[in-house]
Amino acid sequence: MTAYITPLDNINFLVNDVFDYPNHYASFEQLADVTPDLIEAIVQECGKFCEKELSPIYQSSDHEGCYFNNGQVTTPTGFKQAYDKYTQAGWNSLSYPQEYGGQGLPQSLGFIRSGMLSASNWSFNMYPGLTIGAVNTIIEHGTDIQKQTFLPNMSDGSWSGTMCLTEAHCGTDLGQIQTKAIANDDGSYGIFGSKIFISAGDHDLTENIIHIVLARLPSSPKGTRGISLFIVPKMNTNQNGDIEGPNKVSCGSIEDKMGIKGSATAVINFDGAKGFLLGDINKGLECMFTFMNTIRIGTSLQGVGAAEAAYGLSLAYAKERLSMRSLTGKKYPDKVADPLIVHPDVRRMLLTQKAICEGGLAMVYYACKLTDTIDYHADESIRLKADEKLGLLTPILKAFLTETGFESTNLGMQIFGGHGYIKETGIEQIVRDVRISTLYEGATAIQALDLLGRKILLNKGKELRSLCFEILGFCRENSIFSLNPHGKKMQKVVWPLAKEVLKWQKYTITLMLKANKNRNLVGSASVEYLMYSGYLYMGYMWAMMAKTAHEQIAKNDGDVVFYQSKIDTAEFYFERIFPRVKSLSATMMKDPKNMMDMSEEAF
C-alpha cells in the first residue's frame, strides 16, 4: 500500500490563492497572530506528522482491530504512541480556547488539520475528532465550573470525549431514547441506561473519557421535548480536574464491524453513573446540535479524505500497471503494453475521483471560513448570517461528500481490477472504511430532510436565495459579458452553472408550493434535492478554482501544469459530472403517489 502524501499543493492553492485565508484571518483583530508563515508551518508540519506517524499504522490497525478483554479496550499497536506524540506536539490543542489551555487558533485551521488526519488514518482521527465535538458542546452550553473542570484536560488531550445518543432500539429517532437521569441531592444526576455504537467509547489512549449523554428525567414529556444532556465522566473528578476514582460507567463490548476497525465502537453502560446537567432541562437535543454540527463537518472531511487517499493509490497504479494498447496507437512502444492511464475509461474514473476529492476539499474550506466569522466577527448580524449560511451548507457537506466520497473510492477500487479486491493493495480498506460515513452522524436521508425541511422550507428559502445570488454574481463577474480578461475562457464553466442556479431557485419554489399540499413530497424529493444542491455547490467551487488558475497562469506565477490541471478538471466536471443535475431534477420533482400508494404487501 502506498503511504499517504499530503496534497500540499492543493491545500496551499485553496488556502492562499482561491480563498485567501491569510487576509481572512487578518480581517479579525483576535487573529492578528495567524500570519501566512504560521499557516504554512501548520499545514506542512501537520502533513509531516500524518505521513510519518499516522499513515504507517493505518493498514495495520485494520488487520489488528481493537481488542476487548475484561471490560478494557486496547487500541491497535502504535495508536497510543501516536496519540501521545499528537498531543505533545500540540495538534490536539490547536484550536481550543487559550483560557482552557488551548492555542486559540481558529476553528478553520483545526478543520484543515482534521482533513489531513482523516485522509492518512481515519480510525485514529475518531479519538481526537469526537473530543472536538464534546469540547465545543461544553464551551457552548457548560457552566463556568464545568468548563474549568473538564476543558483543560480535554484540551491537552489527557482526557477525550464521546457522543452518546444511540440506543439499541433507536439511532435516528432520538425521541425514543430511554436512558434515565435521576436527580441526586448534591445537584448531580444518576444516569441509568445503555448506549450502543459509541465511537471512542472506551480505549487506552487517555486517563479519562468524558461522555456527553442524552437522557430523560422521569418528569419530562415523551419524545424529543423531554430529552436532556449530561456530562458523564468515566472517572469521577474534583473541580480541579483531579481524578478521584471510577464512575459507574462500563464498556459492555465492542462491535466487530465492516471498517474503521482501529476505532472502538462500544456499548457503554451507565449504572447510576454520576452525571452533570449540560444546558437546560429538556433542551438536550438542541444542545446536542452543537456537537452534531461540528461532527458533521468532520464527517464530510472523512468522505473527502477517503476519496483523496483512494485517488493517490489508484493514480499511482494507473501509471504503473500495463494493459493492452491505447486505442489511438502505442504510447509506450518500448513496453509490452501501455499503462492503464492511456485508456479513456480509466481517465474518466481518475478524473471523476480528482474532481470529487479536490472539489470536495474546496467545499469544506469555503464553509470553514464561516466558522471564523461566527467566532470572531464584531457585528452580531454578520455572525448570525454566517451561522445561517453554515446551517444550510452543513447537511450538503455531510451527505453529498460522503456519498460522492464512497463513489470515488469505489472507482479507485475499479482501477485496481481484481487486485483491488485483495487486502494487500489497501484500496478495499478505504472502500470499507468510507461506507460508514453515509450512515452515522445522521444518515443521508436525515441530512436531506434537514436541508429541505428545516433549512429551506421552514425559512422559505431565504438562505438559499442569498447563496444563489452570490453564485450568480460570481458568474456575471467572470462571464463573457464582463470586463474580465478570462471571461471567454470561463464561459464553459460559468454558463452551465448560472443556468442551473436559476433553475435551483425555480425548483425550490415549486417544491415549497407542492409540499404545502403533499408532505410526502418533502421526503421523496429530499435526497435527490440534496445531491442536486451538492453538484451545484461543487460546481461553484470548480468555477472558483478555474478562475484562480486562469489568473495564476496569466501572471506566470507558479506551476503551469498544476494550474492547467485545475482548469482541465473544472471543464471535465462541467462536461461529465455536472449534467447529473438534469436527471436528479427530473426525478426529484415527480409526484410520490406511485411509491406511496403501493401496499406494503405488494413490495
Whole-number minimum distance, CB 101 to ligand FAD, in Å?
25
- DSSP, res 76: P
Rounded CA gap, 249 and 192, in Å? 10
Whole-number minimum distance, CB 196 to ligand FAD, in Å?
7
Q: What share of the chain is helix, strand, coil (3-state, %, to 5)?
A: 60, 10, 25
Quick one: 167 or 463, whose CB is closer to ligand FAD? 167
Q: Which residues contact 132 (CB under 8 A, 6 or more apart)?
A: 110, 114, 161, 294, 295, 298
Closest C-alpha among 172, 167, 175 to residue 191: 167
Quick one: 294 or 484, whose CB is closer to ligand FAD? 294
Quick one: 10 or 302, whose CB is closer to ligand FAD? 302
Contact (Cβ atoms closer than 8 angstroms) between residue 437 and residue 406? yes
Contact (Cβ atoms closer than 8 angstroms) between residue 567 and residue 546? yes
CA atoms within 13 A on the CB side of 331: 14
Whether residue 424 lies in the annotated active site: no
Helices 520-555 and 580-588: crossing angle, nearest 10°? 160
The amino acid at 509 = I
Whole-number minimum distance, CB 569 to ligand FAD, in Å?
32
Q: Which residues contact 522 (CB under 8 A, 6 or more apart)?
A: 449, 452, 453, 457, 511, 515
Quick one: 448 or 570, whose CB is closer to ligand FAD? 448
Whole-number minimum distance, CB 299 to ligand FAD, in Å?
10
Indicate the residue whose CB is closest to ligand FAD. 171
Reported as type and span, the H/E element at residue 258 is: none
Q: Which residues contact 396 (CB under 8 A, 6 or more apart)?
A: 363, 447, 451, 530, 533, 534, 537
Rounded CA gap, 72 and 205, in Å? 12
Q: Which residues bind ligand FAD (CB under 6 A)?
A: 163-166, 170-173, 197-199, 257, 265, 436, 439-440, 443, 445-446, 523
Rounded CA gap, 451 and 429, in Å? 31
Whole-number minimum distance, CB 181 to ligand FAD, in Å?
16
Contact (Cβ atoms closer than 8 angstroms) between residue 416 and residue 425? yes
Rounded CA gap, 157 and 144, in Å? 20
Whole-number minimum distance, CB 11 to ligand FAD, in Å?
28
Whole-number minimum distance, CB 307 to ligand FAD, in Å?
19
Rounded CA gap, 209 and 131, in Å? 9
Whole-number minimum distance, CB 227 to ligand FAD, in Å?
13
Quick one: 191 or 544, whose CB is closer to ligand FAD? 191
- Indicate the Cα dihedral angle 515, 463, 541, 40, nearest 10°: -140
Quick one: 261 or 369, whose CB is closer to ligand FAD? 261
Q: What is the 3-state secondary structure (H, E, C) of 548-598?
A: HHHHHHHHCCCCHHHHHHHHHHHHHHHHHHCCHHHHHHHHHCCCCHHHHHC
Rounded CA gap, 123 and 429, in Å? 11
Whole-number minimum distance, CB 175 to ligand FAD, in Å?
11
Quick one: 108 or 199, whose CB is closer to ligand FAD? 199
Whole-angstrom CA distances from 298 to 358, 455, 586 are: 16, 20, 31
Q: Which of 53, 441, 500, 528 is catalytic?
A: 441
**Residue positions annotated with a catalytic role:** 441
